[in-house]
Chain A
Amino acid sequence: MSITTEVRPEPSVPPRSARGRVPGLSADRSVRSLLLVAALLPTAALVFLTYQMVKTAWPAVIFNGVSFFTTKTFTIGNLYATGTEVHHGYTAAKGASYGILPLVFGTLVSSFIAVTLAVPVSVGGAILLAERIPVRLQGVLGTFLELLAGIPSVVFGLWGVYTFGPVLSRTVFKWIAALHIPWFGGPAGAGQGLLTASLVLAVMIVPIIAATTRELVRSVPSISKEGAVALGLTSSETVRIVTIPFIRTGVVAASILGLARALGETIAVLIISGNFLNAFPHSIFDPFSTMASTIAAFLDSALTDSTGMAVHSLAEVGLVLLVITLVANLAGRMLTRRFSGAGLPVGRGV
């Protein structure tokens, strides 16, 4: 019966134009338009932002061409020298060269390491927090998790560069370097570099992933877990067989959130990275740079570039970062869809 009413339009509902005059429906309509506005606002903001970025970056896109992505040197040139660089009809300061290859590399690698480290820690921690730890302690530890999420990133940066990094480089980094594994060798440095930055990023995104995962773990129906227990499975088997499949989709989504945070993190990375430009790091202990940190590092001097190309190029860096973040999100979505395939309760645990 309900199906027929859904399929066939209800004759008693007045046509669209008359709706506003029907008492009771006008409120309904204003709520609906309010919701529509609320739903469209984020999309509109994203579109507007992208438009502004493209507009500002456009001269740089023409000036730099493909070499933006294929060269390693990023310099805004000598702002006090006479003469200019001209490409494709656009001018930049003498000696200016905008190549972001090492920055893309630094961004992707540091974020990837951070997420790889943070996901198992967060998921393991969240499961422990939600299932193993006595309820009274859960509250305290949960509060710490939320506090951790609220620490400003500059504090993480300072902590990383003054405490965490130096301590690690004197101990763990040295031991790893002594193993002479390619990419993990060489001098362990003073603590500013790719590994320290990745570790600090990991610490920063753990609360994001863990807090979401904790809620996911709590939302697993207890009757599902009891089903495993009643078959004589141990609690760790129950986690593996019931809890993890239930939360998997949501964990992927939370990890993407964490990844986006790591990709865009600016100030902490700027402080810890060693702000090393124009070349690739040779080992995981070497200083490096990311796109976000480079934008922050250059913005001040870029504003004094009378050709304006420095600012245009930084906008182009921002645009690329935006695209990378969007692509990561889309990839995450596709992954989420794949993970919620066979054997999984579709729509559950997201």
Chain B
Amino acid sequence: MIDTPAQVESRPTAPSVPAPEVPRQPRPERHPEEGTPDPVFRVKDLSFYYGPHQALRDVSIDIGAHEITAFIGPSGCGKTTFIRCLNRMNDLIPGARVEGEIDFEGRPLYGADIRAIDIRRRIGMVFQKPNPFPKSIYDNIALTPRRNGVKKSELDGLVEESLRRASLWDEVKDKLQQSAFSLSGGQQQRLCIARAIAVRPDVILMDEPCSALDPVATFRIEELMAELKGDYTIVIVTHNMQQAARVSDRTAFFTVDVSDQGRVGVLVEIGETSNIFTSPEDQRTEDYITGRFG
């Protein structure tokens, strides 16, 4: 269905696209080997351990501002682990340990003077399954800003703005006081995106945000991501290569490295999405995207 580069460039396409051939043209102003000029995240030699088990080894990535970075790779290669390092969600896991450096906007993310709670207010997250609060639609959006000190008089406006940005407003404007659970799965996921936006973060992390959604709902989320990209840095984990191809500017390919020490997640390569899908440098990437692996 998508054959011409122009189509992909302008908007995400319906999710039933067959092959991950990405006809996206490389952006003229940048080349993959240059990396990202002004990264939001600068990750250097990151290793991650769940107790004795090493889940990631020596991952180095720069994540650029106002672009969409996709993480792809076989299941169990540590994509979730990695993305959760970026907002310090892994702090909650007993025995988990991070080695290496992550700079967020020029400051060490795991620095002694940085509070995880402050970090999470600037880096929103959307999960594999929609997880709205057991509250009304309105409260789902308003709760966190209200708690963060947004004035009551500004809340209604903020709720509307966030829902509009998540392209959900028209569907829910007449039932803001209804339970968030009365919405469909796709609507709930957009509500969760609106909830994240309402805190005015700089970054939105998405861990397989469409894995529980049907193709139409998936399409709407992809559309939404393209719209949000202007204002937010987006990182998305997806096991759907077509999705990575459709929505992302840069793609990072992770895989599982099997050795005597066990199975460890490693980053194989990162680059412009079009390059990764058309002319990957590493054989493992090529095998994966052509379906010879996993």
Contacts and interface: CB of A to CB of B under 8 A. Distances in A.
Contact of B120 (A231, A342, A343, A345): A231
B135 A245 contact: yes
B92 interface: yes
Given A343-B139, A343-B180, A223 B134 contact: no
Contacts, number: 79
B117 interface: yes
A227 B133 contact: yes
A226 interface: yes
Nearest to A224: B131
A246 interface: yes
A241 B135 contact: yes
A231 B198 CA distance: 10
A181 interface: no
Contact of B131 (A135, A223, A232, A346): A223
B118 interface: yes
B192 A342 contact: no
A341 to B, nearest CB: 8
Scoring A227, A229, A233, A342 by chain B CB atoms within 10 A of each residue's CB, the highest score goes to A227
B117 A234 contact: yes
Interface string A285-312: 0000000000000000000000000000
Interface string A215-245: 0000001011011111111100100011001
B89 A343 contact: no
A344 interface: yes
Interface stretch (B30-38, B121-129, B220-228): B121-129
B144 interface: yes
Nearest to B177: A342
A226 B87 CA distance: 12
A229 B131 CA distance: 12
Given A227-B127, A342-B178, A245 B133 contact: yes
Scoring A221, A233, A246 by chain B CB atoms within 10 A of each residue's CB, the highest score goes to A233
Contacts of A223: 127-129, 131
A344 B134 contact: yes
B143 interface: yes
A233 B136 contact: no
A345 B134 contact: yes
Contact of A230 (B120, B135, B180): B120
Interface residues of B, number: 34
Contacts of A224: 131, 133-134
Nearest to A342: B179
Interface in B75-105: 87, 89, 92, 94
B147 interface: yes
A343 B135 contact: yes
Contact of A231 (B94, B121, B129): B121
Interface string B138-156: 0100011001100000000
B92 A345 contact: no
B131 A226 contact: yes
A229 B134 contact: no
Given A342-B178, A344-B179, A232 B144 contact: yes
A87 to B, nearest CB: 57
Contacts of B181: 344-346
A232 B121 contact: yes
B196 interface: yes
B81 to A, nearest CB: 14
B132 interface: yes
Nearest to B120: A232
Nearest to A248: B134
Nearest to A221: B131
B24 interface: no
Nearest to B137: A343
A346 B177 CA distance: 16
Given A230-B87, A231-B196, A242 B127 contact: no
B101 to A, nearest CB: 22
Contacts of A241: 133, 135, 143
Nearest to A345: B181
Contacts of B147: 233, 237
Given A223-B129, A223-B131, A343-B134, A231 B178 contact: no
Contacts of B94: 134-135
Given A226-B131, A342-B178, 14 more contacts: A223-B131, A227-B195, A229-B120, A231-B120, A231-B121, A231-B195, A232-B119, A232-B121, A233-B117, A237-B147, A245-B135, A342-B136, A345-B134, A345-B181
Closest 9 CB pairs of A and B: A232-B121, A230-B125, A245-B134, A227-B131, A232-B120, A343-B135, A223-B131, A343-B179, A345-B181
9 contacts: A135-B94, A221-B131, A227-B133, A229-B92, A230-B127, A231-B195, A343-B179, A344-B181, A345-B134
